[in-house]
Amino acid sequence: MAVDRLLPTDESVELLALVRELCEHELAPHAAHAEETEAFPRAAFRTLGKAGLLGLPYPEQYGGAEQPYEVYLQMLEEIASAWMSVGVGVSVHTMTSYAVATYGTEEQRERLLPDMVGGELLGAYALSEPQAGSDITGMTTRAVRDGDSYVLNGTKAWISHGSHADFYTTFARTSDDRTHGISAFHVPADAAGLSFGAPERKMGLTGSTTTLVNFDDVRVPAGNLIGAEGDGMRIALSALDSGRLGIAACATGLAQAALDLAASYAKERQQFGQAIADFQGLQFLIADMAAAVESARATYLHAARRRDLGRRFTREAAIAKLICTDAAMKVTTDAVQVLGGYGYTRDFPAERYMREAKVTQIFEGTNQIQRLVIGRDVLRSV
């Protein structure tokens, strides 16, 4: 069921039509098989890049579409509803490109952004480490200046697109200062000394490869430092604010797909001589699912509109990530219940939706971390 979206311009309406066509013909038909075989959807990212959908929020002068975030996120939601691994991948790539787009030099933007937003270069965000997840200040990966280069050593963990990405936006220590000693680097995938662990064996999002990334005397030009030395913490947290909105939109798209599946099945499934959709108890369950999806969408759009206006949105991004991902977990679980025994089989995508929803409550800041962010922000403003 197509969502009746409120979009700000005729251009964004046309963009929505393009996204829906690509979702219907290029994404949805391949999702189930790719997830079952754990096949990385590189071709899908190239298709979206050629259609201009990997650079929606970025400037036109670098090949982007220069769309407001409220439009980008709604397009992202459509993609995630068709194929969650691709939706999350677009969100990750957009966040990965953010560092160069926002903090890079003009030379870096002109050199790197066109291929990033055009789909030729797929990015990965190398921030987390085995012992430094939510606590960014605990990272131990180091970058040491050596003449006209930096030499990186360490290990990053839980990296989406690991071993498939063409570049890694990498955060490493350039001093021992806990908060001001982290810097950001653009690391090409063909850099000598870069290697990868075996793909993680995950519950869901099996089409989205996740690995360790090892840096063993990886040498990158000093010109690949993004921002100044010590700016890494500020860059990482700023990117995560926007990235959390991407995950919120993806989670909403996943919940919408589960709602659509449940409603369609309920109208077809017959019990006691009538469709189960005719039973009030089932209607109430569908109503609660719909309310959760609509509430989630409104929450991420509120945060996006604040971002588009240039207003602070850290608290709102955390709220959106919390609300949307919890909604996705609830709605996908309820979808399995609506389908009954069939919901527990792989003949229908309900069980896959449920498995995919769980990680949205974990990555890019667990929902417990979101509560910390929200609570501290509220108390700070009193």
Residues tagged active-site: 364
Residue of 330, 344, 156, 328 lying closest to 250 (CA atoms): 328
How far, CA to CA in Å, does 77 sit from each of 93, 304, 353?
15, 13, 14
Spell out the residues 6+ positions from residue 366 whose beta carbon is closer than 8 angstroms to its own: 134
Task: Give the whole-angstrom CA distance, residue 259 versus residue 344.
Answer: 16
Residue of 362, 356, 359, 363 lying closest to 335 (CA atoms): 356
Q: Say which DSSP state 175 is in.
A: S
Residue of 62, 196, 206 lying closest to 121 (CA atoms): 62
Spell out the residues 6+ positions from residue 258 whose beta carbon is closer than 8 angstroms to its own: 289, 328, 331, 332, 334, 335, 350, 353, 354, 357
Residue of 354, 360, 295 lying closest to 330 (CA atoms): 354
Q: What share of the chain is helix, strand, coil (3-state, %, to 5)?
A: 55, 15, 25
Spell out the residues 6+ positions from residue 353 whose beta carbon is closer than 8 angstroms to its own: 84, 254, 257, 258, 261, 332, 335
The phi and psi torsions of 192 (rounded to 5 degrees) equal: -60, 135
Q: What dihedral angle (degrees, nearest 10) is formed by the CA atoms of 80, 83, 87, 89?
A: 160
Q: What dihedral angle (degrees, nearest 10) is formed by the CA atoms of 343, 344, 349, 355?
A: 120
The phi and psi torsions of 163 (rounded to 5 degrees) equal: 80, -10
Longest CA–CA span in the chain (Å) reads 79
